[in-house]
């Protein structure tokens, strides 16, 4: 059996590996010049510091199956993520807001200071125009815990980075990887099945209209100081263009440099303003976007399975992408006896 996988992110790589182990011959194509999708990281040559090209990725999960599966391909370094927001005064407060943050800002001001300008920049919409689930992802705390993911059992960083994990996942004699290769419909004829992580609306030539996405311009720069800020990632609360800034050497095992540091500022925008780089599906309060996705999804035929963030039009963290991909692969193996 021969399968085509489109996209070398976590979704595509996990499916490729699971099928390869079941003796399926897998060709994986990727339009970019690198594997690992949006989790891609590399070492900056000037500083020797590793950075994540598409924004900071923190692995966290309670899903033991995912953790065990992924641990076959990497060693880990323990890391518990903390984030602070920079106030107009230059002082910083813990986010998501814990009791200390609430005491300092006043509960009635937390939404306006920490979330209203950030949300406007991030989504170009007011809080009221967005699906409440987006804000629910950042709950208020009733304790002094400073952890960003206080409930997740597994919180860590891959010792050699995310690109190395994906390279290890794809290292199997039944998998061949072709970079700089964009999907074309004519490719489907040569395969028994296609697992496709490309945007589903693009696949169908936007016949029912475009699915909106937010994107981010990542401004990476080297600063000639040994240390830039107290934590790896800090949020801005002002109404300027940037939402966050990350100092990469503050993440464990990302490299050291006594003289310089590497930082990345994030500037959200519509995906059409950033080379059609799709990062966040837009969850509107009326659910119109999801309905449009469902119309596309109903066109799916037996030969194609849409996978991942853009194939399923859903924001998923890495552990969710892996969990979903493991299920897709096992369903497929059961269905076809592979
Ligand atoms: C800014 C940002 C920060 C994030 N932070 C975290 C975090 O801290 N923790 C966490 O767990 N998750 C985080 N995520 C989510 C994480 O990136 C996703 O879970 C993961 O990337 C999903 O993998 P995927 O394979 O579904 O999609 P992707 O990683 O996007 O991979 C899809 C791949 O398909 C390729 N492709 C698309 N169209 C075509 C085509 N036509 N032909 C060929 N190839 C194509 C793309 O180039 C891409 O490489 C973050 C995401 C973003 C955007």
Q: What is the pLDDT of residues 194-252, one digit of tens each?
A: 999 999 999 999 999 999 999 999 999 999 999 999 999 999 999 999 999 999 999 99
Instruction: Measure 107 CA to ligand 1 centroid, in angstroms.
Output: 35
Say yes or no: CB of residue 8 within 6 Å of ligand 1. yes
Note the helical H segments in the chain: 10-21, 64-70, 99-105, 107-110, 116-123, 132-136, 162-170, 200-203, 288-297, 308-311, 318-336
Instruction: Write down the pLDDT at residue 309.
Output: 97
| Side-chain half-sphere CA neighbours of 136 within 13 A | 5
Of the candidates 308, 311, 288, 310, the one whose C-alpha atom is nearest the C-alpha of residue 299 is 311
> pLDDT tens digits for 61-90?
999 999 999 999 999 999 999 999 999 999
In a domain, 132, yes or no: no
Strands 83-86, 233-236: pairing is parallel
Main-chain phi, psi angles of 326, to 5 degrees: -60, -40
Percent of the chain with pLDDT over 90: 88
Q: Which residue has the tokens 């996988």?
A: 5
* Mean pLDDT calculated for residue range 97-108: 94
Say yes or no: CB of residue 165 within 6 Å of ligand 1. no
Count of beta carbons in the 10 Å neighbourhood of residue 275: 8
In a domain, 36, yes or no: yes
In a domain, 262, yes or no: yes
Measured distance CA(6)–CA(181) in Å, rounded: 9
Instruction: Write down the pLDDT at residue 184.
Output: 97
State how far the alpha carbon of 273 is from the alpha carbons of 214, 264, 278, 309, in Å. 10, 19, 10, 20
* The 3-state secondary structure of 135-198, one letter per residue: HHCCCCCCCCCCCCCCCCCEEEEECCCHHHHHHHHHCCCCEEEECCCCCCHHHHHHCCEEEECC
Ligand 1 pocket: which of 6, 8, 36, 39 to mutate (most atoms within 8 A of CB)? 39
Strands 76-78, 59-61: pairing is unpaired
Tell me what the pLDDT averaged over the chain comes to: 95
Strands 92-95, 304-306: pairing is unpaired
Say yes or no: CB of residue 24 within 6 Å of ligand 1. no
In a domain, 180, yes or no: yes
> pLDDT tens digits for 157-175?
999 999 999 999 999 999 9
Instruction: Write down the pLDDT at residue 128.
Output: 81
In a domain, 142, yes or no: no
Let me know if 189 is a catalytic residue.
no
Instruction: Write down the pLDDT at residue 149.
Output: 92
Instruction: Write down the pLDDT at residue 193.
Output: 96
11 has a pLDDT exceeding 80: yes
Taking the CA of residue 308 as reference, the ligand 1 atom at the shortest distance is 26
Instruction: Write down the pLDDT at residue 28.
Output: 98
Let me know if 292 is a catalytic residue.
no
In a domain, 113, yes or no: no
Instruction: Write down the pLDDT at residue 176.
Output: 98
CATH number at residue 314: 3.40.50.720
Instruction: Write down the pLDDT at residue 296.
Output: 97
Instruction: Write down the pLDDT at residue 249.
Output: 98
Instruction: Measure 109 CA to ligand 1 centroid, in angstroms.
Output: 34
Catalytic one of 201, 266, 279, 313: 266
| Bridge partners of residue 179, in order along the sequence | none
Say yes or no: CB of residue 57 within 6 Å of ligand 1. yes
Instruction: Measure 263 CA to ligand 1 centroid, in angstroms.
Output: 21
> pLDDT tens digits for 33-42?
999 999 999 9
284 has a pLDDT exceeding 90: no
> Could you tell me which residues come within 8 angstroms of residue 40 by beta carbon, excluding any fewer than 6 positions away?
32, 34, 52, 53, 54, 162, 163
Measured distance CA(295)–CA(317) in Å, rounded: 24
Ligand 1 pocket: which of 10, 38, 308 to mutate (most atoms within 8 A of CB)? 38
Instruction: Write down the pLDDT at residue 166.
Output: 98
Strands 41-43, 50-52: pairing is antiparallel
In a domain, 8, yes or no: yes
In a domain, 316, yes or no: yes
Let me know if 315 is a catalytic residue.
yes
Asked if 118 and 272 count as a contact pair (C-beta separation under 8 A), the reply is no
| Of the candidate ranges 152-156, 186-190, 297-301, the one whose mean pLDDT is the lowest | 297-301
Say yes or no: CB of residue 281 within 6 Å of ligand 1. no
Taking the CA of residue 182 as reference, the ligand 1 atom at the shortest distance is 42
- Write out the residue range of the structural domain in which residue 273 sits: 2-82+151-336
CA 200 to chain centroid, in Å, comes to 18
Q: 203-229 burial by CB neighbour count: b if 16+ within 10 A, else e? A: beeeeeeebbbbbbebeeeeeeeeebb
Let me know if 32 is a catalytic residue.
no
Q: How many structural domains comprise the chain?
A: 1
> pLDDT tens digits for 110-139?
989 998 999 999 999 888 887 777 667 667
Instruction: Write down the pLDDT at residue 233.
Output: 98
Query: Atom 25, ligand 1: which residue's CA is nearest?
Result: 9
Measured distance CA(27)–CA(83) in Å, rounded: 40
């Amino acid at each position: 059996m021969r399968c085509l996988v489109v996209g070398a992110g976590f979704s595509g790589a996990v499916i490729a590996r699971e099928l390869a182990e079941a003796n399926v011959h897998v060709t994986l194509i990727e339009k970019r010049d690198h594997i690992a999708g949006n989790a891609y990281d590399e070492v900056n040559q000037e500083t020797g510091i590793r950075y994540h090209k598409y924004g900071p990725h923190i692995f966290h999960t309670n899903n033991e199956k995912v953790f065990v599966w992924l641990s076959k391909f990497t060693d880990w370094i323990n890391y518990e993520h903390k984030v602070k927001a920079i106030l107009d005064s230059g002082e910083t407060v813990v986010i998501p807001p814990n009791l200390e943050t609430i005491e300092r800002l006043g509960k009635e001001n937390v939404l306006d200071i920490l979330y209203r300008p950030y949300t406007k920049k991030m989504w170009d919409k007011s809080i009221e125009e967005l699906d409440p689930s987006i804000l629910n992802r950042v709950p208020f705390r009733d304790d002094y815990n400073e952890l960003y993911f206080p409930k997740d059992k597994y919180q860590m960083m891959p010792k050699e980075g995310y690109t190395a994990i994906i390279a290890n996942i794809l290292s199997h004699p039944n998998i061949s990887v072709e970079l700089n290769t964009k999907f074309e419909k004519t490719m489907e004829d040569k395969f028994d099945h296609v697992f496709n992580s490309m945007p589903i609306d693009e696949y169908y030539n936007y016949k029912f209209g475009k699915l909106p996405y937010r994107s981010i311009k990542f401004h990476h720069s080297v600063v000639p100081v040994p240390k830039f800020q107290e934590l790896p990632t800090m949020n801005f609360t002002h109404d300027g263009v940037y939402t966050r800034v990350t100092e990469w050497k503050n993440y464990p095992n990302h490299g050291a440099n006594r003289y310089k540091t590497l930082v990345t500022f994030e500037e959200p925008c519509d995906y059409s303003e950033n080379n059609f780089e799709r990062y966040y599906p837009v969850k509107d309060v009326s659910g119109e976007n999801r309905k449009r996705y469902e119309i596309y999804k109903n066109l799916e035929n037996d030969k194609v399975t849409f996978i991942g963030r853009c194939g399923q039009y859903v924001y998923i963290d890495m552990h969710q992408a892996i969990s979903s991909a493991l299920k897709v692969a096992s369903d497929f193996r059961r269905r076809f006896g592979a």
